[in-house]
Structure formats: C-alpha cells, structure tokens
C-alpha cells in the first residue's frame, strides 16, 4: 500500500512522456503523409504535361492541324488544359479543364464554364476581331455564361488601355515596339463601345501568344515542368517547416504536464489525509494549506518535466520514456543533495539513495518503452508497461531483500560461532604463553644469580631449554676444568 502513491506518480510521469511523444509522432506522421501525397501530386502534374505534349505532337504538329497560320491555336488549347490542370494537381486539387475537341463554339470547359479561346495576332486587335466574328455566329455565347480567353500579354494591354481616358491615350503617338499606341486604344475602345460584351467577358490565358508557337511550345512545356518541380519543392519545404517543434506546442505540452502532475499530487495528498482518518469536511485550514503547497510544487515540477521532455525528444536523440526518467532522477538527486546539505543524511546514504533513484527510473523507462511497443496505443501502452514492470521490479527486489537478509543472518551466526571458538583458543594460548614466560623469567633469574653455584645450575638449565647440545653444556666440574684449562 505504501508503494501505491509512488506507482501512481510513476505512471503519471510516463503518461505525460507518452503524450508528448504522441504529439511529436503526429507531426512526423503528418510530414510523411504530406510527402507521400506530394509524390502523387507531382506525378499527376507531370503526367498532365506529358499528355499535353504527346497530344500536341501527334494530333496537331504531326497532323498539321490548322496549317501554318492556325496551328498555334490548337497548341494553345491543349497547352492550356495541360498546364492549368498540372498547376491544380501539384497542389493536390482535381483537374479543372477539359478540352472540347469538336471545332464547335466551345474550345474548353472549366468547372462547367464554357470557354472560347482566341490566340489571333492578325489585324493588330489583340484577338478582339476574332471575338467579334465569333459573337456574330454565336450572339448568346456570353449571355449563356461563356467566356473568351486570350493570351495573357494581350489581356494586359487591353486592360491597360480600357481604363485609360482618351486625353491620356492621345499621348500614345505611335507603337514603339515596347508599348501600345493610340491606334490600339481606338480599336479597343471601339470594340467595347460597339460590341455587346464588356471586359469582364474576357479572361487571360496562362500562356502568352509567343509561347504557343510551333517552334516554342516545347520550351514552354519544359519551363512549366521546371516550375512545377520548384513548386513541389516549396510545398515540401513548407510541410517540413510546419512539422518542426514550435513554441506554441511546447507551451501546450508544458501546461498540460503541469496540470496533470499538480492534479495527481492534489489527489494523492487528499487521499493521504483521508487514510489518516480525517473526513473531507473535517479538513482544517492547515490541511488545505499543506495540500495546496504540495500541489503547487508538483505543478511547477510538472511544467519543468513537460518542457524538458519536449526539448529532449525534439532536439536530442532521446526517447520520451528516457527523457521523463532523466527528469525524475534529476529531481530525486536534487532532493537528496538538499538533505545532504542540511545534514539529514550522510554521504553514503546520498550515494545509495541516488543510485536507487537511477535504478528505479531506468526500470520505469524500460518498462514504459516495452509496454508502448507491445501495446501501440498512446499513453495506455506506456502506463500498462510501467505498472507491470514496476510491480515485477518491486516483487523481485522484495524477494532478493528477503534472501539477502537470510544470507546475512547465517553469515553473522557463523561469525559469532567462529568468534567464540577463536576466543577460547586465544585464551588457552595466552595462558600457555604466560606460563612459558614465567618459566623463562625464572630461568633467567637463576642463570644470572649472584650466587655462582645457583648461576651455574641455572645457566645449564637455560642451555638445555634452548636446545644446546648436552656435550657443550658445562654442568659438571670436569667439563668446567676441561673447558677452561685444556
């Protein structure tokens, strides 16, 4: 029961880590999905360009459709369809253009809008003359929702001159090769004054007149392919930038971690008070202050945990489970260091407790990692893995502790028996040594006695005790006389 709050905190810590990892994985998954989609978009766009080139080559150029002066009109129609659809497809959108290949009043259809395309340079009227002729044949074309499409460069000139007052247009003396003339203005003004349509019935093509000529369309389509690839790369770069960790997401992770850890601490503190026998309505002001203090501290710890995990997982090669364990160990060692400074524990206890924190954090990280791998459900897998792993660790630790205690007790018992045995032997040896020393001192006293006769006997006895050969011991008058006189 005492380990339950600790297990709850451990699960909460790993749940926060798993949630942050889930946020990171979502961004990565979105990026990979965007890249896969962009691969398909690029393929479709390039296929549209290739199909347009193929149709121009076979159905227009090879067939000499339109002849020398009209071929570019058919090239423009097919190129408009291919390029416009490709520009939609590179963005992941559906094609919008359809080519109506029947030489009728409609050349193209775009999202249900009928379009007649006019790429005509003859007469110097920027295709307006061809439009007038078409209107004579089909006077209801515009009224029925149709649009006239002209080269982009022609449309820009028409739009510029259409909005130009006559007194300003009068300053356009002649065409100088780079800009329109007053004559051009008069033609345009006359068309809209006499015609039955306004400028809103016209729209620009994606292409200019010179880009659809027989000798130019290949380079035009090649340039479009290059532009599509450039757009594709820009979209990929943008997707990558959006997938990067950002301050807003980091702030969300930090706040969520702080709220979760603070809420967990609040619940555990209230539960602890209740286990003491105090009913909720009986909580005193001091009880609530204690709970608030613990919850507030945990709220701050949770914020630190959230920002640390988010930073470690996104800017270093660290998994979320390991990142959470690193933070947990850091908090634990910091607490032990404070106790060491305050004298509550000694250096040995500080080292042992720090090692224990690191071991438990490592078990929690490994268990959460394995659980998330076996149960690939965000948060749930990490919590289940951490719970199972922690309980197994506690059971193993408890079993090992019991076995260690038995081994230590047996060792102490053997040591006590050995101590008693050695103490008896030591006492016996001490008594023998005392007796031997007493005898030895007695011999020395006799050997060096002032009484010559006593000293002679004592010296002989001492020599025998020192294992001197009997022939060399002067223990009779004859031996003494022989030693000193012979």
pLDDT in tens, the chain (486 residues): 455 566 566 666 666 776 677 777 788 888 999 999 999 999 999 999 999 999 999 999 999 998 888 899 999 999 999 999 999 999 999 999 999 988 889 999 999 999 999 999 887 789 999 999 999 999 999 999 999 999 999 999 999 888 888 878 777 755 455 677 888 888 888 888 887 789 999 999 999 999 999 999 999 999 999 999 999 999 999 998 888 877 777 777 777 767 776 666 676 667 776 676 667 666 677 767 776 777 666 677 767 777 777 777 777 767 666 776 777 777 667 777 777 888 777 777 777 777 766 666 666 656 555 555 655 655 555 545 545 555 554 555 555 555 665 666 677 777 888 888 888 888 888 888 878 777 667 766 666 767 666 666 767 776 776 667 766 666 666 666 666 666
| Residue 114 parent element (H or E) | strand 113-117
**pLDDT on residue 280:** 67
**pLDDT on residue 297:** 65
Could you write out the DSSP letters of every residue in 116-163? EE----GGGSTTHHHHHHHHHH-TTTTTTT-EEEE-HHHHHHHHHHHT
* Cβ–Cβ < 8 Å for 83, 216: no
Question: Which residue in 10, 32, 26, 23 sits closest to 371, CA to CA?
Answer: 10
Region of residue 186 (left: phi > 0; alpha: psi -120 to 50; beta: else): alpha
**pLDDT on residue 96:** 95
**pLDDT on residue 359:** 65
Spatial distance between the Cα atoms of 265 and 267, rounded to a whole number of angstroms: 5
Spatial distance between the Cα atoms of 60 and 66, rounded to a whole number of angstroms: 8
Spatial distance between the Cα atoms of 211 and 76, rounded to a whole number of angstroms: 8
Q: Is 214 helix (H, G, I), strand (E, B) or coil?
A: coil
Spatial distance between the Cα atoms of 71 and 88, rounded to a whole number of angstroms: 26
* Cβ–Cβ < 8 Å for 31, 235: no
| Residue 407 parent element (H or E) | helix 380-447
* Cβ–Cβ < 8 Å for 138, 145: no
**pLDDT on residue 99:** 94
- pLDDT tens digits, residue range 36-74? 999 999 999 999 999 999 999 999 999 999 888 889 999
Region of residue 149 (left: phi > 0; alpha: psi -120 to 50; beta: else): beta
Distances (CA, A) of 337 to 55, 117, 188, 202, 356: 79, 82, 88, 80, 14
- pLDDT tens digits, residue range 144-171? 999 999 999 999 999 988 888 887 877 7
* Cβ–Cβ < 8 Å for 16, 305: yes
């Amino acid at each position: 029961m005492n380990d339950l709050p600790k297990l709850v905190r451990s699960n909460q810590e790993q749940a926060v880590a798993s949630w942050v990892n889930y946020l990171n994985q979502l961004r990565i998954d979105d990026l990979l999905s965007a890249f896969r989609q962009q691969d398909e978009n690029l393929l479709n766009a390039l296929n549209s360009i290739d199909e347009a080139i193929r149709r121009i080559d076979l159905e227009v150029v090879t067939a000499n459709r339109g002849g020398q002066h009209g071929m570019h009109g058919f090239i423009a129609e097919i190129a408009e369809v291919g390029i416009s659809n490709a520009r939609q497809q590179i963005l992941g959108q559906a094609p919008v253009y359809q080519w109506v290949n029947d030489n009728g009043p409609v050349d193209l259809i775009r999202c249900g809008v009928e379009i007649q395309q006019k790429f005509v340079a003859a007469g110097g009227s920027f295709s307006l003359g061809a439009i007038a002729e078409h209107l004579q044949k089909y006077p209801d074309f515009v009224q029925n929702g149709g649009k006239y499409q002209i080269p982009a460069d022609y449309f820009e000139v028409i739009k510029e001159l259409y909005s130009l007052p006559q007194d300003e247009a009068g300053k356009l003396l002649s065409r100088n090769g780079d800009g329109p003339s007053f004559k051009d203005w008069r033609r345009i003004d006359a068309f809209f004054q006499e015609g039955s349509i306004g400028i809103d019935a016209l729209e620009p093509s994606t292409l200019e007149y010179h880009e659809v000529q027989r000798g130019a369309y290949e380079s035009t389509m090649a340039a479009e392919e290059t532009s599509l690839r450039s757009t594709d790369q820009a979209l990929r770069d943008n997707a990558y930038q959006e997938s990067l960790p950002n301050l807003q997401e980091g702030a969300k992770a930090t706040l969520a971690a702080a709220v979760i850890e603070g809420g967990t601490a609040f619940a555990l503190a209230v539960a602890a008070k209740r286990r003491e026998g105090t009913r909720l309505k009986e909580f005193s002001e001091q009880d609530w202050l204690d709970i608030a203090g613990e919850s507030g501290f945990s709220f701050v710890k949770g914020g630190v945990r959230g920002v640390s995990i988010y930073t470690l997982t996104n800017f270093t090669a660290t998994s979320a489970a390991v990142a959470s364990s690193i933070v947990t160990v850091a908090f634990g060692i910091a607490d032990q260091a404070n106790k060491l400074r305050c004298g509550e524990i000694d250096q040995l206890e500080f080292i042992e407790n720090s090692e224990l924190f690191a071991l438990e954090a490592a078990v929690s990280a490994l268990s959460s990692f394995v659980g998330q791998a076996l149960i690939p459900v965000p948060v749930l897998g990490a919590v289940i893995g951490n719970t199972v792993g922690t309980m197994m660790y506690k059971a193993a630790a408890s079993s090992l502790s019991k076995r260690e205690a038995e081994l230590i007790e047996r060792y102490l018992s053997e040591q006590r028996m050995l101590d008693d045995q050695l103490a008896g032997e030591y006492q016996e040896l001490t008594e023998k040594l005392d007796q031997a020393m007493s005898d030895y001192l007695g011999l020395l006293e006799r050997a060096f006695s002032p009484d010559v006769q006593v000293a002679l006997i004592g010296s002989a006895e001492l020599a025998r005790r020192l294992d001197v050969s009997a022939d060399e011991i002067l223990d009779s008058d004859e031996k003494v006389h022989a030693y000193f006189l012979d």
